[in-house]
Structure 1
Amino acid sequence: MGKMGVTWRGVVLAFVFVLGLGWAGAEAARIKDIAEFNGIRDNQLIGYGLVVGLAGTGDDVDNGFTKETLANLLSSQGLYTKGKKIDADNTAAVMITAVMPPFARVGTKVDVTVSSIGDAKSLQGGTLLMTPLKGADGQVYAVAQGPVVLGGFTAGGSGARAVKNHPAVGTISNCAFIERELRYDLDRMRELTIQLQHPDFTTAGRVADVIRSSLDGVAVRQVDGRVITVAMLPQAAGSVVDILPRLENLEVPVDAPAVVVMNERTGTVVMGENVRISTVAVSHGNLSIQIREDYRVSQPLPFAPGTAPGDRPVKDAKTGTVFAPGGQTVVTQETTVGAAEEKRQLMVVPRGVTIDEVVKALNAIGVTPRDLITILQTIKAAGALQADLKII
C-alpha cells in the first residue's frame, strides 16, 4: 500500500512538472483580468438635459427643441413663457451618459459625459442642470448636476475662430448620485459562470485546471472556449461570495493567439508575440504620380501690332469686359505630369522568425507603417502569414 502511494504521488508530481513546462513560455494573468463573472457587470445610463451659463456659445435661437425644453423647465419653476420670446444662445441641449458600476449603493457618486446634440459651439463655462439618468428598463437610477469641464476651448470673433480639441463634449466628475440600487443576491448563489474576454479553448482549459487544483468543495466544468462554470458541492458550506476573493486572484498562463491588428486610417499596426511568417520573398516599391497645373496670363499691350488706325476699345457682349485695341487677354493652362518609382531589392524573410525578426526584416527594406499594412495583407493572401489578420 505504501509503494502504491509513492507511485501515485510520483505520477502526480510528474504531471504537474510536465504541465509547468508546457505553460513556462506563457504570460500569467489573474482570472479577474482576463474574464468576467456572469451577472456582475456595469450598466449604462442615459439622460437628456440642459447646460446653462454659456457665453453666447449655446444653441442657435432657431433651435426648436432647446427652446421648448427651456420653456418647460421655466414652467416647472413657476415661470410661464407662453407667447414670450426666449433667447437660448446661453443654453445648450445635451445628452448625458454614465456607467453604473456593480454593487453601487444609494449615494454612490459616478462620473458623467455631457455631449451637445444641437449646434452649440462650446460648453465651456456651462453648468448642467439637474438631470435624471435612466437605465435600459426606463427606471431612473441616478441624478446628475454640476459644472462642465472641457479638455479644450473655443475663442474668436466674427472673422476668425480658434478651437482646441472638442469643446462640444465635456465631463463632470462625481456629479451623479445613485438613487436606485441593483441587487445582487450572491448569498444564495451556489454556481458561478466565468466568461473569458477573449475566447480560447487552451486558456479556458487552464482556468478550469487552476481552479480545480486551488479550491476545495467546488465542481468545475469547461463549457466551451469562453465559459467555465464553478458550482459549490452540496456538502460545501457558504456561497460563491466566500470563494470569489481567492478565485479572482488565481493566476493563469494565458495563451495569446497570433493576431495582427491594423488601423488603415492611422497607419497603426500591432502584432502579437506568436505571429510567425513562412519563408517568403518581399519586394515593395512606391510609385508616386504628381500632376501639376499652372495658369499663365497673356496680356497684350494696348495698340499692339495689328491694330488698325482709329480702332476703339471693344466690349465683350457676353461678359461686358472692355478690351483695348490690339488684342485680348488670354489665359493658358500648362499641365505637367511626373512619375517616380523607388527601386527596391527583393528580400527573403526566413521561415518561423519571431516578431522582433519580422520587424527588423521589414524595416531593412525601408517600409513605413502604411506600407507594412499592404505587405502583410499580401503575405496573408500568399498563405505565408500564420496569424489572424484584423483591420479596424
Structure 2
Amino acid sequence: MKSTLFALVLLLGLNASAWADRVKDLASVAAGRTNQLIGYGLVVGLQGTGDGADVSFTAQSMKSMLSRMGVSLDGPLSDFEQGASAGKIDIKNVAAVMVTAELPPFAKPGQKIDINVSAIGKASNLRGGNLLLTSLRGVDGEVYGIAQGALTATGIDANAAGSKVSIGVPTSSRVPNGATVERMVETPFESSDHVVMNVRESDFTTTTAIVNAVNKSFGEGTARALDGMSLAIRAPADMSQRVAFMSLVENLDVVPGEPPARVVVNSRTGTVVISRNVRVTAAAVAHGTISVAIAATNEVSQPNPLSLGQTAPVQNAEIAVTEPKNPMFLFQPGVDLRQVVDAVNQVGATPSALIAILEALKSTGSLRAELIII
C-alpha cells in the first residue's frame, strides 16, 4: 500500500506587505549580549549517592571548606576519605559538581538567575541535594554571581533485583533563581555615540530595510549599515531618552529579505522542509522499486500402492517478481515548490524516496537550492 507523502512547506513572502516584522524580531542590540558563568561547588545531603572515597578531590574540597569555617580535622586525608567508618563525615553523601549559568544582558546586582548543576565525580544521583555557597566566575576570572540552594532533579534512577530503570538524567539538575548577581558587566550602551544592532541572520536586504525604516521615521542619517550583519543608529546621549528612542526603533515594522532557497531533510524521521524560493531546472525523474516475493509450500509425497516406497516431505518454492508501473515525470525549467511536491505525490513517493530524488537532483545540478541533511 502506497504511503502518502506529507511535506511541510514554508511559503514565505507570498504577500510581502502582509509579512512585515518588528525590528526587535529581526535584530538585537550588540551591547545586550549574554555572558556565560561557571563555578565549582559541593552538593551535600545526598542519600549515599555521592562520590564516595574513590574521588579524592571531593574529600579535599570538603576538608578545605571545613577548615576555612574553623573546623579542624585531625588525622591524614586517607582517614577522612574512609567516611563514617572512621568517625568522620560520610563522603558518600557529598558530590563535587560544576555550576553553570547565563548572565542576562544589563543584569544588575541583586537580581536572581537560574543555574545548572552537573556532577563531575562518581555521584549517581543528585536528588535531594543542597548546593553549598559557590562563586560563579566569568571568562575574565571575576566573580559575577553567588549560587546556593536546594536542587531540583527530575531524573529517576532505580535498581531492584538486577533490573534498572532510568528516566531523565539524575546527575544533572537545576536551581531556579539559585544565584544572585554580584557584579555588572560593563557595556558600551551607555557611553557610545551610536547603538550597534546585529541582524540575527546575516542578510544585506534585511539590514538595508531596517536602515531605511529608521531613517524614514527619524530622519536621514540616523542609521547606517556597517555590513550585512550590523548597523549603527545615532541615539540620544541622555539615558532616559536613549532607552525610549530604542523602544521606538524596536517596534518599527520592516519587510525582511527572503531567506536563501533551502531544502532541509531529516533522514531519521523522513521530514522534508522546502522553502518557497526552491527552483528546479529541466530534469526527468523516474521512481520505482522491484519487489521479489518468495513463498514456500510444505507437502508430503505418498508412494503408489504396493510400490514399497516411503513417504517423504517435499518443499515447493514459488518466486514472483513485480515492478510497479510508475511513470517518469518531467520537471520543466523554473519549476517552483508546489509543482515539485505535486509531481512527487503523483507517483506515490514516500519521504525516503523524496530524499533520494532530492539528492539526485542536487548531484546533477538541477536543484537550485541548498540541500541540508540532518
What TM bracket, shorter-length normalisation?
A: 0.7 to 0.9
Q: Which residue of 2 aligns with 1:311?
A: none
Give yes or no for the alignment of 1:259 onto 2:262.
yes
For the 8 Å contact 2:153–2:174, the answer to whether it is kept is yes
* Match among 73, 77, 81 for residue 80 of structure 1: 73
* Match among 247, 269, 283 for residue 249 of structure 2: 247
Give yes or no for the alignment of 1:123 onto 2:126.
yes
* Match among 154, 175, 183 for residue 151 of structure 1: 154
Give the deviation of 1:360 after TM superposition.
Answer: 4.4
How large is the RMSD of aligned CA atoms in angstroms? 3.4
Q: Which TM-score applies when normalising by structure 2? A: 0.75
Q: Which residue of 2 aligns with 1:274?
A: 277
* Match among 28, 44, 61 for residue 53 of structure 2: 61
For the 8 Å contact 1:26–1:254, the answer to whether it is kept is no
- In structure 2, runs of 5+ residues without a counterpart are 1-12, 84-89, 293-318
Distance 1:240 1:375, change over 3 A: farther
Q: Which residue of 1 aligns with 2:344?
A: 362
In 1, Cα distance between the equivalents of 2:323 and 2:116? Answer: 49
- In structure 1, runs of 5+ residues without a counterpart are 1-20, 290-337
Q: Secondary structure at the match of 2:91?
A: coil
For the 8 Å contact 1:217–1:232, the answer to whether it is kept is no
What letter matches 2:274 in structure 1? M
Q: Which residue of 1 aligns with 2:182?
A: 179
Distance 1:233 1:123, change over 3 A: closer
Q: Which residue of 1 aligns with 2:28?
A: 36
Q: Secondary structure at the match of 2:125?
A: coil
In 1, Cα distance between the equivalents of 2:58 and 2:332? Answer: 64
In 1, Cα distance between the equivalents of 2:204 and 2:188? Answer: 30
Q: Secondary structure at the match of 2:162?
A: coil
* Match among 89, 93, 98 for residue 96 of structure 2: 93
Q: Which moved more, 1:356-365 or 1:340-349?
A: 340-349
What letter matches 1:138 in structure 2? G
Give the deviation of 1:366 after TM superposition.
Answer: 4.4
Q: Which residue of 2 aligns with 1:309?
A: none
In 1, Cα distance between the equivalents of 2:17 and 2:361? Answer: 27
Give the deviation of 1:39 after TM superposition.
Answer: 1.9
Q: Which residue of 2 aligns with 1:300?
A: none
Q: Secondary structure at the match of 2:202?
A: coil
Q: Secondary structure at the match of 1:254?
A: coil
Structure 1 residues 276-335: Cα deviation after superposition (integer angstroms, max 9, x where no partner): 33343334456899xxxxxxxxxxxxxxxxxxxxxxxxxxxxxxxxxxxxxxxxxxxxxx
Give yes or no for the alignment of 1:227 onto 2:230.
yes
In 2, Cα distance between the equivalents of 1:237 and 1:163? Answer: 53
Q: Which moved more, 1:123-132 or 1:345-354?
A: 345-354
What letter matches 1:62 in structure 2? D
In 2, Cα distance between the equivalents of 1:99 and 1:206? Answer: 32
Identical positions, percent: 39
Distance 1:371 1:56, change over 3 A: farther
Give yes or no for the alignment of 1:376 onto 2:369.
no
For the 8 Å contact 1:219–1:233, the answer to whether it is kept is no
For the 8 Å contact 1:186–1:241, the answer to whether it is kept is no
In 2, Cα distance between the equivalents of 1:25 and 1:196? Answer: 20
- Relative contact order: is structure 1 or structure 2 higher (C-alpha 8 Å, sep ≥ 6)? 2
Structure 1 residues 91-134: Cα deviation after superposition (integer angstroms, max 9, x where no partner): 22221111111111111001111122223222222222211111
Q: Which residue of 2 aligns with 1:390?
A: 372
Q: Secondary structure at the match of 1:137?
A: coil
For the 8 Å contact 2:31–2:189, the answer to whether it is kept is no
Distance 1:355 1:89, change over 3 A: farther
Structure 1 residues 227-265: Cα deviation after superposition (integer angstroms, max 9, x where no partner): 22222599x998643420111111211222222233445
In 2, Cα distance between the equivalents of 1:122 and 1:342? Answer: 56
Aligned residue pairs total: 323
Distance 1:166 1:23, change over 3 A: same
In 1, Cα distance between the equivalents of 2:284 and 2:100? Answer: 51
Structure 1 residues 150-209: Cα deviation after superposition (integer angstroms, max 9, x where no partner): 333111135111001222221111111001112445444321222111111111111111
